[in-house]
Structure 1
């Protein structure tokens, strides 16, 4: 069966099977399907548009009599077309979207599965074919990712049964693969590692232009998206203060490129003011004098081409490369924030200061993460 026109909220999907056009849609929680005969696609699209207009205006004929072909064109309406797994997956995504699943989640999780279903190119009609598809995923993905996808496919199978497309959930009895837990890599950078990292990137022929951005990641404790979105207007050189009130985050579709990023408030919605150390003040003053920004709304840090930094690109190319060159175990850029907060707690013994820098109004989260650094356990010593 060929999908001619995708459906969705308030939309009618058009399918073609052996020259027979079918319309499928949902209205007020109920599914409808209508065979329109061996017609041309143009009048079929016109009928789909009419149904969509009737639904939007509240004049929808739930009996479907006003939409059926005339007597001389009447076709057999007794059997619904059998939809393939790709068409069903599209309908499942539409249903989840209507149920409130975010577009970000759909684009990042469900659409990648749709692409894999298309690459696999087969239908799923039994537990054996479902198992074959899972094995295909495991040959291309990490065990953790494949297990996540199996969980989504089980949910899809339950939906297909509930909607009457399948008699049984072909994925239900399939087992998740055992995953060997890798050692955690979220431990903060040591002071020596920070110094080595910054020395390495400062002299790197390819990535030296990201040195100032990395320096501030380690010294300000901001989220990467907050520093990516930092504007010159947020820096008070007279009082040596930086106001963190917004971020330049990935769009709802998950794209990380500069053109796709969206300006938002901070993750917690809090505004915080950070003092500049002498080194940060000197670095930003020099950067301001060198760049001579034309507007106070210009970004402080940009890519070498002058655009907003693509955090995924930066992490996988620049950051990973510098860690490798410096001989430092890789941790993602976000750990620079964790590093700054850990060193604040270790040097001051104050969870409140770490919470202020982190932008948390409550000490609970900071205490859970960094409380062990405040008072280290003193073990007994019996030697004179």
Structure 2
């Protein structure tokens, strides 16, 4: 027969050449049929019997018997690394990988990695080829994401918490070098008088004179100027409110692909509407609705700064024999002229919509050398 235990415990029997456990608990008789009756399986059955007796004593007995049959609820499959990232960006950061350039680029990077775990994430990241700036930016994003994985219990450890940012010399960006006063005058004159407009062209450069004048005068970002609406220009109070942009999307820079949103860092600022600026803008404000754009293309759409750069700005610089720059150099020019003109860094930063450190680090350059040095 079988091995019969003392009363009140689990008995082990040989029932038709199979191991059978039998016991009573709270007035109910339980029977559990296990594997074939042999020495090895008997050892396993004895462990199961002891587990049942222990659970009864601790009042954690599983009446369904699934625990003692070895039936366990399968652990939920972990979501793919990229899928989990998309949900984190959407649900916790309130961002959109389809619209935000940095989060989109990061998603494309990890999507190439395949299966990712605590053991290989650092190796996969270090295998990427980045410049120092991109490496540090992606490392910051990866640290934030992995920290959330650990905090949520999805990962047990954070293998990159101690990884340091790379240090290196910041390389100059010659195409953002500010223009001199003489160069500014030549550029504005060329726009205003169509001196570089191709003969027989129906698209006169003078159409964009107010646009380029506004950027040189205020130092706003390209997308801030492109998205400026009539109701943001207050003639009565002589102010201009900068609190939104018409930003390019991942799909392109044309008017159909642009999206209206807050400024780059969420800051809004008010700029003075000087008399010369008012004279330039006034003709553009007439007979327009409050939500209309101040600056438009020849077709009345929003300006495509990429096309403007390649088809208008760059050819004018070439014809004027001025070193090639990008349109953003106008913003650098504004910052440098403010500092050189005696406006303190804090006010310069406010006018540009930055903090003082950023303004000094990125947007200021020495335009001219002093005639003298301090006396000793």
TM range (shorter): 0.5 to 0.7
Give the one of 108, 129, 147 matched to 1:115: 108
- 2:217 is paired with a residue whose SS is helix
Q: CA deviation digits over 1:11-32, x for unaligned, max 9?
A: xxxxxxxxxxxxxxxxxxxxxx
1:191 is displaced (CA, Å) by: 0.9
CA distance 1:127–1:328, shift in 2 (3 Å) = farther
How do residues 282-297 of structure 1 correspond to structure 2 at under 5 angstroms?
Answer: 283-284=280-281, 287-288=283-284, 293=287, 295=289, 297=291
CA distance 1:85–1:220, shift in 2 (3 Å) = closer
Aligned-partner Cα distance in 1 for 2:262–2:317: 30
How do residues 1-384 of structure 1 correspond to structure 2 at under 5 angstroms?
Answer: 77-94=73-90, 97-98=91-92, 100=93, 107-118=100-111, 120=112, 122-125=114-117, 127-128=119-120, 130-135=122-127, 137-138=128-129, 141-172=130-161, 179-183=168-172, 188-199=178-189, 202=194, 203-205=196-198, 208=205, 209-228=207-226, 229-231=228-230, 234=233, 236=235, 243-250=239-246, 258=255, 260-262=258-260, 269-277=268-276, 283-284=280-281, 287-288=283-284, 293=287, 295=289, 297-311=291-305, 314=308, 319=313, 322-323=316-317, 326-329=320-323, 332-340=326-334, 342-343=336-337, 358=351, 378-379=372-373
Question: Which has the larger helix fraction?
Answer: 1
Aligned-partner Cα distance in 1 for 2:99–2:261: 21
- 1:262 is paired with a residue whose SS is strand
Kept in 2, the 8 Å contact 1:103–1:253? The answer is no
1:17 aligned partner: none
Kept in 2, the 8 Å contact 1:207–1:318? The answer is no
2:59 aligned partner: none
Aligned-partner Cα distance in 1 for 2:217–2:210: 10
1:302 is displaced (CA, Å) by: 0.7
Aligned-partner Cα distance in 2 for 1:282–1:79: 70
Aligned-partner Cα distance in 2 for 1:320–1:142: 27
CA distance 1:222–1:274, shift in 2 (3 Å) = farther
Kept in 2, the 8 Å contact 1:143–1:178? The answer is yes
Q: CA deviation digits over 1:178-212, x for unaligned, max 9?
A: 54420266653211221343355542457824333
CA distance 1:112–1:200, shift in 2 (3 Å) = same
Kept in 1, the 8 Å contact 2:230–2:288? The answer is no
Q: CA deviation digits over 1:128-177, x for unaligned, max 9?
A: 56424542x42xx5442133213322332333334343344454576655
Rg (Cα) greater in structure: 2
CA distance 1:152–1:270, shift in 2 (3 Å) = closer
Aligned-partner Cα distance in 2 for 1:113–1:357: 31
1:51 aligned partner: none
Q: Which stretches in structure 1 are left out of the alignment for 5+ residues?
A: 1-74
Aligned-partner Cα distance in 2 for 1:145–1:179: 12
Kept in 2, the 8 Å contact 1:223–1:337? The answer is yes
Kept in 1, the 8 Å contact 2:222–2:328? The answer is yes
CA distance 1:172–1:298, shift in 2 (3 Å) = closer
Aligned-partner Cα distance in 1 for 2:267–2:161: 38
Aligned-partner Cα distance in 2 for 1:365–1:143: 18
1:114 is displaced (CA, Å) by: 1.6
Aligned-partner Cα distance in 1 for 2:158–2:126: 14
Aligned-partner Cα distance in 2 for 1:327–1:337: 21
TM-score (norm 1): 0.54
Kept in 2, the 8 Å contact 1:188–1:336? The answer is yes
TM-score (norm 2): 0.55
- 1:245 is paired with a residue whose SS is strand
Aligned-partner Cα distance in 2 for 1:332–1:230: 24
CA distance 1:101–1:313, shift in 2 (3 Å) = farther
